[in-house]
Copies of this chain bind each other. A is one copy, B any other.
Amino acid sequence: MLIDTMSSEKIDTRTRILKAAWSLLEDQTTALPRMSDIAKETGISRQALYLHFPSRLELLVATTRYQDQVFEIDKRLAPSRNAKGGIERLDAFIDALCSYIPKIYGVARALLAVEATDPEAGAAWAERMADVREGCAAAVQALERDGVLPDGVDVEVATDLLWTLISVRNWEHLTQTCGWPQECYLDTVKSLAHAALAQDPTALIRSLKDCSLDGRPTPS
């Protein structure tokens, strides 16, 4: 009990499971991994998984938390929190979120798949997304404080709109379904936000012109 279990030599089995699940979830070419796949990848028996996680859903949720920890999500959001002006805050927030999505998409995808049928998974995902909405609300409030938010635009409406723009589904559609490069996606989201929330209506068209889909995977 007093021995250092965090030593570099022997890794926590729980952590090994999380790493295994993560790596399998990354691969989008294969079907979503079953409990038996994750066990095999970890090098333990399927039943042993249930000694560490009560259910598949809990394992998936734990994996997303593990990712947040490994990627130090809070540090990534620091530039946004520390931004002086509203517009800088908005940009930093969008940068942080939109560049985070591709890193976690594999796991998020699995969670979204379960969400479709399991209400508990829906709740878990909703909770996570509620945190994101908090960030959106904070950015919108910063815009309002600076007087950049157009007069008469409801803060809730603006928050929802930003929340929609940076949603995983939106990223999924533009980059995975349409095949847009991340750069192009990011610019578009940012300029849409500027057009709607920061009184910069011409930003949108400007950025769309820069968008080149020359080498995209799915030409249709």
Contacts and interface: CB of A to CB of B under 8 A. Distances in A.
A220 B109 CA distance: 25
Contacts of A201: 195, 201-202, 204-205
A113 to B, nearest CB: 4
Given A117-B113, A170-B170, A205 B196 contact: yes
A180 B204 contact: no
A213 B113 contact: no
Interface stretch (A58-66, A93-101, A155-163): A155-163
A3 interface: no
Interface stretch (A45-53, A79-87, A146-154): A146-154
Interface string A94-123: 000000000000000100110011010000
Nearest to A213: B156
Nearest to A219: B156
Contacts of A31: 117, 119
A209 B113 contact: no
Contacts of A177: 129
A199 interface: yes
Nearest to A179: B160
Contacts of A163: 173, 178
Nearest to A114: B116
A44 interface: no
Contact of A173 (B113, B130, B169, B208): B169
19 contacts: A113-B116, A129-B177, A130-B220, A153-B208, A154-B208, A154-B212, A157-B211, A158-B208, A164-B170, A164-B174, A169-B170, A169-B173, A170-B170, A192-B196, A195-B201, A196-B204, A196-B205, A201-B202, A201-B204
- What are the nearest 5 A-B pairs in CB distance? A201-B201, A113-B116, A152-B209, A169-B169, A160-B178
Given A153-B208, A154-B211, A154-B213, 7 more contacts: A112-B116, A157-B184, A158-B208, A160-B180, A195-B195, A196-B204, A199-B205
